[in-house]
Amino acid sequence: MKVLRLVTAAAVTSTLALLPLATAGPAAGAEASAAARDRPLRQLAADDRLRVGTAVDTTALAEDAPYRRIAGSEFSSVTPENVMKWEVIEPRRGEYDYAEADRLVRFAERHGQKVRGHVLVWHSQLPSWLTEGDFTKEELREILRRHVTDTVRHFKGRIWHWDVVNEAFNEDGTLRDSIWLRELGPGYIADAFRWAHEADPRAKLFYNDYNIEWAGPKSDAVLDLVRTLRAEGVPVDGVGFQGHLGIQYGLPGGVAANFQRFDALGVQTAVTEADVRMVMPADDEKLRTQAEGYRLLLDACLRARHCVSFTVWGFTDKYSWVPDTFEGEGAANILDETYRPKPAYRALQAALAGRARPTTSG
């Protein structure tokens, strides 16, 4: 049994505790016990041997003091939303710029937070020198090997989890057509995990994807991949369920049971990018459904013996990728644009305060 070394912040009162609920959502708000209401999420999660994290927008972190205060006080892990992506850290071939990412890692260390490294191998946010370059297969494999090795080595000892491969599957469970699959074949996935492990043997290495929270062709394919890789001795330690939900599709069923399938393989699991969007404008009923969406993701994690972290993809509606990506949608986060807690925040507090986990964790 491995025991997570948890930083238990001194008994602090959540900076959010005194603020009124964003919208009158009596059901979710009333669920939280009085004790839960004045403790930050990171403390409540520590009681459950779980890290509770957020994606961090490093521009907001630098410029917005309330954002910075809440990022440091509510969460026990952080994920760079964008600043560890290939286009940012290797804008020119072989020339690295880790400055922004380093700043965030230092912030995390100052606040007793773990860092989830995001992301080494992905089809998106690649620099144009790479996507438009005319490389042979051998050159491209070497470019990938170097990027993974140099980056993991740069942060060696300071990254808790790496999202090594991100979003490699289509919805039907076939592998996504990407520069990596086209040029290198499916073996790029095992290669990336091996290279990352060699560069930092102590970091936990994750496969990460969306729409795999429930059972279906895509999560079946990920389960199969992870089982096969581990049987071959490839160092895959965990699976990240991103958790991008939209209430207009209805909330998914069978999430806890699906997490259990992965748990049974012996790998760690994590909710890595939770947010629950809605068609605007928001109203009380939508906010209650949203709270239920967050709660069901956290609940699935709490029920899985080896689920080690629950990360939200940003914590305030002030900064979110959602309105830029889905026209007419938004309000996906747990605090509103003025940092007032929404029913979703209260639901997370209540879920963390209200239950005990299985006796061991990975």
Question: Measured from the CB of residue 77, what is the shortest distance to ligand 9MR in angstroms?
Answer: 16
Question: Measured from the CB of residue 37, what is the shortest distance to ligand 9MR in angstroms?
Answer: 29
Question: Measured from the CB of residue 2, what is the shortest distance to ligand 9MR in angstroms?
Answer: 27
Least Cα distance to 251 among 292, 191, 222, 279 occurs for: 292
For ligand 9MR, the closer CB: 82 or 113: 82
For ligand 9MR, the closer CB: 242 or 361: 242
Residue 196 to residue 203: CA distance in whole angstroms: 9
SS (H, E, C) 152-186: HHHCCCCCCEEEEEECCECCCCCECCCHHHHHHCC
Write out the residues near ligand 9MR by the rule CB under 6 A. 81-82, 124-125, 166, 242, 273, 321
Residues 6 or more apart from 316 whose CB is under 8 A from it? Answer: 67, 70, 333, 334, 335, 336, 337, 339
Q: How far is CA 321 from CA 50, 126, 313, in A?
A: 26, 18, 9
Clarify whether 167 is annotated catalytic. Answer: yes
Which residue among the candidates 31, 100, 167, 292 is catalytic per the annotation? 167
Q: How far is CA 94 from CA 80, 103, 127, 129, 144, in A?
A: 21, 21, 12, 11, 11
Which residue among the candidates 31, 81, 273, 292 is catalytic per the annotation? 273
Least Cα distance to 125 among 192, 171, 179 occurs for: 179
Least Cα distance to 282 among 353, 337, 208 occurs for: 337
For ligand 9MR, the closer CB: 55 or 287: 55
Question: Measured from the CB of residue 125, what is the shortest distance to ligand 9MR in angstroms?
Answer: 5
For ligand 9MR, the closer CB: 14 or 290: 290
CB nearest ligand 9MR: which residue? 321
CB contact burial 234-247 (16+ within 10 A = b; e otherwise): bbbbbbbbbbbbbb
Residue 203 to residue 240: CA distance in whole angstroms: 15
Residues 6 or more apart from 228 whose CB is under 8 A from it? Answer: none
CB 193 within 8 A of CB 164: yes
Cα R_g (the chain), whole angstroms = 20
For ligand 9MR, the closer CB: 44 or 205: 205
The pair phi, psi for residue 153, each rounded to 5°, is -65, -40
Clarify whether 139 is annotated catalytic. Answer: no
Question: Measured from the CB of residue 198, what is the shortest distance to ligand 9MR in angstroms?
Answer: 24
Question: Measured from the CB of residue 82, what is the shortest distance to ligand 9MR in angstroms?
Answer: 5
For ligand 9MR, the closer CB: 45 or 56: 56
Active site residues: 167, 273
